Chain A
């Protein structure tokens, strides 16, 4: 299904705080992920910035505000703007989260878990398919981390699978979220992977969180933990990955060495997996 997609290698989520490190270490960075909302319905300067980044790296838009899980249709103006942005940067795919961020006039600004029912999975699959058809490139849905879990008809892995089986979209598997949820909700991350349709995984996210009040938080503020590196190795055995991406949103390292070390480590795991095939 995604056989024609390019293999982007190992990239990093672009943040202005990391701009200098990214360009100073450009040899270690294969591609960038840009936050969609920073570049749509925006000023011409922002679009120039996106074009400029695209001149240096392949770029993939990654959204946080589509809120595909909100009851009702996805905002068509938003999807049109996303399609324009995808075309502007010639993105091989784009992504957003399997969650909701808005409800009842409240803009939570936070990726929030959904009630996991078959009916909702079907609705989301239909909406995701519409998005993909409109943007013209594969649209990936990402699993989120959550601290509150509602008793639901489906497990998280079943819910994701149900969505994937009802559309032709891809999966952006956030391995740190898998690890965080496994730790906080007491399940096996490796078993979680066996339930998912791994052939649909196009890209992975890696990041590090921290502990607070006995809960592991997905804060993107620390180095990628060892367990997540092991999940990456396992994922590469199961999925035809086209991109690995490191995310950092807080507690930015004083110099580029930590992130470069993570990029290089991801690349070496990727190479080892390719060699083993």
Chain B
């Protein structure tokens, strides 16, 4: 027996309704697809169909439970949506659990659903549920990212030195470049996902349809990220901090050449809340 081929075929039967149907109606297709021998194909065909469906349902059930843990509010909202069950079924059918970059099952399933909601499922998943799913996936990603925890710790230390520079020589900052740490994420939504999730997605969605800009920050002390609401302009400002572009240039782009005070204020906020990572060493010599 070729274990690889047999396991691949069986795994496909468990995650694909179409493959199970094909096994029943056109077994030769399955044989060719997985290069099965006569004995291997016979073994698969001898399986009781109802038990095979039950096993496939078990795999789906595990996926749904993982998704509910990963995206609690998005899945709750989906369950209340008139066609939520159909959407979920469509997701499970069209997005088999191929291995993701992350070995973490919560993250993998959450990322898969967010891709589906913004892609093939876009016309069927309500926009506010897409937003909530994206928000919850982002929070989850920050919480479980080991590098984020380390970055948060490092950032705290570096920020102190730059806050001192702010007091003694604020003008020096405009020649420096900053970046958001890997423990920080920026996000923009069409709905107020913070209000929706804190209300358990119970309110009328229309009440929460408003542009929302957020900074999410993972601290080194707790996994659940802090969430800061910001305006559109600060969002644009922080979005352009890439570690190489000087603050002077960003000021010119975002504030249309206005005085740098606003940018310095935002940098101060970024440093005080430990959002900004260590600037490159050359920053220390800028004047």
Contact = CB atoms under 8 A, between A and B. Distances in A.
Given A104-B8, A107-B99, A107-B108, A147 B55 contact: yes
Q: Which of A44, A71, A106, A120 has the most CB of B within 10 A?
A: A106
A129 interface: no
Contact of B97 (A37, A107, A146, A149): A107
Contact of B7 (A37, A44, A70, A110): A70
B267 to A, nearest CB: 28
Contact of B223 (A37, A43, A147, A152): A43
A45 B223 contact: yes
Nearest to B66: A109
A103 B54 contact: no
A45 B11 contact: no
- Per DSSP, chain B at the interface is helix
A147 to B, nearest CB: 5
A14 B104 CA distance: 18
B3 A115 contact: yes
Q: Which of B46, B58, B99, B144 has the most CB of A within 10 A?
A: B58
A102 B59 contact: no
A188 interface: no
A215 B47 contact: no
Interface residues of A, number: 39
A126 to B, nearest CB: 13
A151 B38 CA distance: 13
B276 interface: no
A120 B3 CA distance: 8
B51 A148 contact: yes
A37 B102 CA distance: 12
Interface string A147-189: 1111110000000000000000000000000000000000000
Q: Which of B3, B48, B97, B145 has the most CB of A within 10 A?
A: B3
Contact of B11 (A41, A104, A151, A217): A104
Given A109-B62, A110-B58, A215-B54, A115 B43 contact: yes
Interface string A111-134: 010110101100100000000000
A103 B52 contact: no
A69 interface: yes
A213 interface: yes
A269 B197 CA distance: 48
A42 B98 CA distance: 21
A44 B146 CA distance: 7
Nearest to A250: B65
A213 B55 CA distance: 12
A149 to B, nearest CB: 8
Q: Which of B1, B46, B66 has the most CB of A within 10 A?
A: B1
A275 interface: no
How many of chain B's residues touch chain A, expressed as a range? 35 or more
Given A117-B1, A150-B46, A43 B99 contact: no
Interface string B104-117: 11001000000000
B159 interface: no
A151 B145 CA distance: 44
Contacts of A115: 1, 3, 6-7, 43
Contacts of B59: 108-110
Contact of A106 (B66, B99, B105): B99
B161 interface: no
B32 interface: no
Nearest to B62: A109
B222 interface: yes
B181 interface: no
B15 interface: yes
25 contacts: A37-B105, A41-B103, A44-B146, A70-B7, A71-B3, A71-B7, A72-B4, A103-B4, A104-B8, A108-B14, A108-B15, A109-B105, A112-B10, A114-B3, A114-B7, A115-B1, A115-B6, A119-B1, A147-B51, A147-B54, A148-B52, A150-B43, A151-B42, A152-B43, A215-B51
Return the 7 tightest CB-CB contacts between A and B, nearest first.
Answer: A104-B8, A71-B4, A103-B7, A103-B11, A106-B11, A150-B43, A71-B3
Interface of A: 37, 41-45, 65, 69-72, 100, 102-110, 112, 114-115, 117, 119-120, 123, 146-152, 212-213, 215, 217
Given A42-B146, A106-B12, 12 more contacts: A37-B103, A41-B146, A43-B143, A100-B7, A106-B97, A109-B63, A110-B14, A110-B59, A112-B10, A115-B7, A147-B54, A147-B58
